[in-house]
C-alpha cells in the first residue's frame, strides 16, 4: 500500500487501529505527521482561552484571488485553531453565526464566526470526535465519536441533553438531521444506519445495507430519501456502493455499484434533483436522484473527503487529499475556484447558510474561512 492509505483513514474519520477495513493491510496506525504550519506575516493574532484550551483566530487582511486559466485561486480570510491534532468535520449553525467542529483530540467545539473565537468546548469519553451537525432550528448540536456514541447538546448552553448508543460498537462515522429536525441518521462503519427520534432519543428504524459498511449519510431536501456511501464486504473486498433509501419504509430506492473504492462522501443538491458522491482515489461524480444515472465527473483531487452543495445549488465544494478545496459549477462540472492554504488533507467543507462563506476542516489542525467567489 502507498502513502495515500493514511489519507483514507482521515476520510473515514476514525482511528486507523479501530477500523477493520478490507484488506487487512489498510489497518496501519496513523503517524504523527499532523503538524500545523502557519504563516504569520502581516497578521493580527487574537487568543481566547475556553475551558483551559487556547483558541486562536488568525484574520487575514483581505481576500486574495489569482486567476489561473478560467479558475480562481483563493486565499482564506481567517484561520481557526484550537484542537490538539486535526479537524474531522465542520458545520455551520442555521443562522450562520456559529461553527461546530469535531477533532481528533476527542472534543467538539463551537466557534463565533465573526470573531473566530471558541465559545464552548464539549467533551465526551475522550474518543476521537468524528462528525458534527446542527439541527435545522439550530437548537441542538449532535456529535459522534469513535466509541459508537452520539451526543446531543443544547447548542446555546452547551448542556448535554442526551447520549445515543449506536447498535454497533464501532465508530459512528457520520450524523445527519432530517430537514424537519425530527429524525437523526447515524452511520456506523461496522453496522447498519439507524434513524432516531430526536425528541424521544430512541431508534425508530434501521436501514441495513447487506454486506456494506456505511461511511457517510445525507438526507434529501424533502426528507424522503437518505443517501449512503460505503464499502461492500465481499470476496473482492474492494467494491463500493452508494444507496438511496426510502426513509418512510427503510427500503432500497436505488443502488449504484460503479465505484471500485470506498465511497466516503455524499451530498444532495438544494432542490433534491442531484446528489454527489466522492470516493477514495476515484474522484467526485454527480448523479440524477430520479434515475440514478451519472450526469458529470469532476476530476480534481483524486480523493474527495467531503462534499457540500451551496444553498442555492449552483456550486459544489469538495475537500481534497491534495490539501486543497475546490468550487465547481454544479450544472456544468466546470472548476470555478481552488482554495489553497491548508498544509495537509482537507477533511470537510461547509457553506454558510447565505452561501457567501466556505469553511474547510483540515488535518493540519486548522479550520479556514473563505469568501466564496460570485459568478458561474
Local confidence pLDDT in tens for the 376 residues of the chain = 333 433 443 444 333 333 333 322 222 222 222 222 222 222 222 333 333 333 333 333 233 334 444 568 887 788 888 667 889 999 999 999 999 999 999 999 999 999 989 999 998 667 899 999 999 999 999 999 998 999 999 999 999 999 999 887 689 999 999 999 999 999 987 778 999 999 999 999 988 766 667 889 999 999 999 999 887 765 555 556 788 899 988 888 888 777 777 888 999 999 999 999 988 877 788 988 888 788 888 876 567 789 999 999 999 999 988 899 999 999 888 899 999 999 999 999 999 999 999 999 999 999 999 999 976 6
Judge residue 125's burial from the number of C-beta atoms within 10 Å of its C-beta, 0-12 exposed, 13-18 middle, 19 or more buried. Answer: middle
- Report yes or no: 293 and 317 within 8 Å, Cβ to Cβ: no
Count of residues for the chain? 376
What pLDDT is recorded for position 236? Answer: 54
- Report yes or no: 94 and 353 within 8 Å, Cβ to Cβ: yes
The grid coordinates of residue 154 equal: 443544547
Count CA atoms closer than 13 A to 7's CA, side-chain side.
25
Q: What is the DSSP string of 83-143?
A: SSS-EEEEEE-TTSSEEEEEETTSEEEEEETTTTEEEEEEE-SSSPEEEEEE-TTSSEEEE
Reported pTM: 0.81
What pLDDT is recorded for position 239? Answer: 58
Q: How far apart are CA 316 and CA 247, in angstroms?
A: 25
Ordered by where they begin, the domains of the chain are: 63-371 (2.130.10.10)
Amino acid at each position: 500500500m502507498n502513502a495515500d492509505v493514511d489519507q483514507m483513514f482521515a476520510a473515514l474519520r476514525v482511528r486507523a487501529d479501530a477500523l477493520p477495513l478490507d484488506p487487512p493491510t489498510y489497518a496501519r496506525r496513523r503517524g504523527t505527521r499532523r503538524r500545523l504550519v502557519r504563516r504569520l506575516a502581516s497578521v493580527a493574532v487574537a487568543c481566547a482561552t475556553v475551558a483551559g484550551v487556547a483558541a486562536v483566530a488568525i484574520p487575514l487582511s483581505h481576500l486574495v484571488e489569482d486567476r489561473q486559466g478560467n479558475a480562481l485561486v483563493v486565499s482564506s480570510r481567517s484561520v481557526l485553531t484550537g484542537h490538539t491534532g486535526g479537524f474531522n468535520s465542520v458545520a455551520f449553525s442555521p443562522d450562520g453565526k456559529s461553527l461546530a467542529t469535531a477533532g481528533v483530540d476527542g472534543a467538539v467545539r463551537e466557534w463565533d464566526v465573526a470573531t473566530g473565537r471558541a465559545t464552548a468546548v464539549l467533551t465526551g469519553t475522550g474518543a476521537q470526535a468524528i462528525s458534527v451537525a446542527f439541527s435545522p432550528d439550530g437548537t441542538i448540536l449532535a456529535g459522534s465519536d469513535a466509541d459508537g456514541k452520539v451526543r446531543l447538546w443544547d447548542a446555546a448552553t452547551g448542556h448535554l441533553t442526551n447520549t445515543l448508543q449506536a447498535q454497533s460498537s464501532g465508530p459512528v462515522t457520520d450524523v445527519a438531521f432530517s430537514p424537519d429536525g425530527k429524525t437523526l441518521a447515524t452511520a456506523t462503519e461496522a453496522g447498519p444506519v439507524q434513524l432516531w427520534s430526536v425528541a424521544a432519543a430512541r431508534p425508530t428504524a434501521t436501514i441495513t445495507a447487506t454486506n456494506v459498511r456505511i461511511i457517510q449519510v445525507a438526507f434529501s431536501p424533502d426528507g424522503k430519501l437518505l443517501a449512503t456511501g460505503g464499502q461492500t464486504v465481499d470476496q473482492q473486498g474492494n467494491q463500493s456502493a452508494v444507496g438511496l433509501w426510502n426513509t418512510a419504509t427503510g427500503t432500497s430506492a436505488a443502488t449504484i455499484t460503479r465505484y471500485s473504492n470506498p465511497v466516503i462522501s455524499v451530498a444532495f443538491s438544494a432542490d433534491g434533483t442531484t446528489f454527489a458522491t466522492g470516493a477514495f482515489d476515484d474522484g467526485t461524480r454527480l448523479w440524477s436522484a430520479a434515475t440514478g444515472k451519472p450526469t458529470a465527473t469532476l476530476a480534481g483531487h483524486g480523493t474527495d473527503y467531503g462534499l457540500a452543495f451551496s444553498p442555492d445549488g449552483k456550486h459544489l465544494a469538495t475537500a481534497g487529499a491534495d490539501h486543497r478545496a475546490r468550487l465547481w459549477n454544479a450544472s456544468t462540472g466546470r472548476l470555478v475556484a481552488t482554495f489553497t492554504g491548508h498544509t495537509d488533507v482537507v477533511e470537510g467543507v461547509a457553506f454558510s447558510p447565505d452561501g457567501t462563506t466556505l469553511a474547510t476542516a483540515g488535518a493540519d489542525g486548522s479550520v479556514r474561512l473563505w469568501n466564496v467567489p460570485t459568478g458561474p
